[in-house]
Amino acid sequence: MTKLLIKADDYGFTDSINCGILLAHKNGIVKNTGMMVNMPAAITGAKWIKDYPELCLGQHTNIVVGFPCADPKLIPGLLGEDGRFVSSKIRRAQLATGIDPFDEEELFIETNAQCERFIKLNGKLPEYIEGHAVGSPSFDRAIERVALKRGIRILPHHQPSTWVAPQFKNNNYDFYKTGRPLHEYFTKDFDFSADLILFIAHPGFVDQDLLKMSSLTLDRTLDYALFTDPIVIQFLKDKKIDLISFREV
């Protein structure tokens, strides 16, 4: 039986995203979400998610938006003059040159501080840990160090080689541009041939806070609509696709 693990990123980014993810779990097929603990909406997110104990909650380590959890004096290379993280747009441009712009020790300090913040908000360790928006060798190593220190599962860069992510060949955001019925992404285009499939998405709603901070906006509502589409839900049942959380792997 094919196992499908859907990971809904950016919980805690804004309250609109919190609402979208929780409803995509309650009314749809989402069983995992990663929290951005440094964002203000993580506070309400931590309160609301207590009503959904079956939703697996991880740490979506964020180093590109908002203020840090660590002492800014310890991580100057991660921050701009305003005290916020340097944006993902700038970081991606730096990474495109082939140079890793990060200091691993600063990344470790911030990743560990975000883990401490996660524990304070949620009263428990993250059920998995990974990174938001950008990836680099130093970021991977920092995440791995925190994970090994605390005994947390590492994802997605260290996922088992037997896992596949077919959306990178047939991207959901490219599909949305076609204007076809949403359910056809799963019912006609998606490759279910692997035993274990990781699907990364960003379901949510849109508010003014999100519009100020993110370029990924309306497509989040399409992720939500896809994951709560009755045709999709019934199709996955009929096809006997096993929807799982990280707790089951």
Q: How is the chain split into domains, by residue range?
A: 3-248
Q: Scan for tokens 């992510």, then name that residue.
A: 165
Q: Is the pLDDT of residue 26 over 60?
A: yes
Secondary structure class of 128 (helix, strand, coil): coil
Q: Is the pLDDT of residue 158 over 50?
A: no
Q: Is the pLDDT of residue 168 over 90?
A: no
Give φ, ψ of 124 to 5 degrees. -160, 165
Q: How far apart are CA 165 and CA 133, in angstroms?
A: 17
Q: Is the pLDDT of residue 93 over 90?
A: yes
Question: What is the predicted pLDDT for the residue at 154?
Answer: 86
**How high is the mean pLDDT of the chain?**
94
Which own/partner pairs from 115-119 qualify as long-range (CB within 8 Å, at least 24 positions apart)? 115/59, 115/146, 115/150, 115/152, 116/69, 117/37, 117/38, 117/42, 117/69, 118/35, 118/37, 118/59
Question: Higher model confidence: residue 69 or residue 163?
Answer: 69
Confidence of residue 170 (pLDDT cuts 50, 70, 90): confident
Q: What's the token pair of residue 95?
A: 């990474």
pTM of the model: 0.94
Q: Scan for tokens 């006997």, then name that residue.
A: 240
Question: What is the predicted pLDDT for the residue at 167?
Answer: 64
Q: How far apart are CA 15 and CA 64, in angstroms?
A: 19
Confidence of residue 163 (pLDDT cuts 50, 70, 90): low
- CATH class label, 3-248: alpha beta
